Amino acid sequence: MIANATFGQLLFMGRVWDANLKSIARRVTRRACNTVKGNMNQLAKFQLR
């Protein structure tokens, strides 16, 4: 019983960790894309001048 409970808790924690890591990765990639876009816009404005 105890082994089953701990195993289930580990599986649940693994799922929670997986979801958190995925959301963090998504956020980081989105931020990176935004900064790259911002840099490209700044370069375009600088070249237009």
What is the pLDDT at residue 1?
A: 57
For the segment 1-49, what is each residue's pLDDT rounded down to a tens digit?
566 778 888 889 999 989 999 999 999 999 999 999 999 888 888 877 6
Instruction: Report the predicted TM-score, pTM, of the whole model to 2 decimal places.
Output: 0.55
Please report the pLDDT score of residue 5 as a whole number.
73
Segments making up each domain of the chain, as ranges: 18-48
User: Rounded to an integer, what distance in angstroms lies between the CA atom of residue 28 and that of residue 38?
Assistant: 15
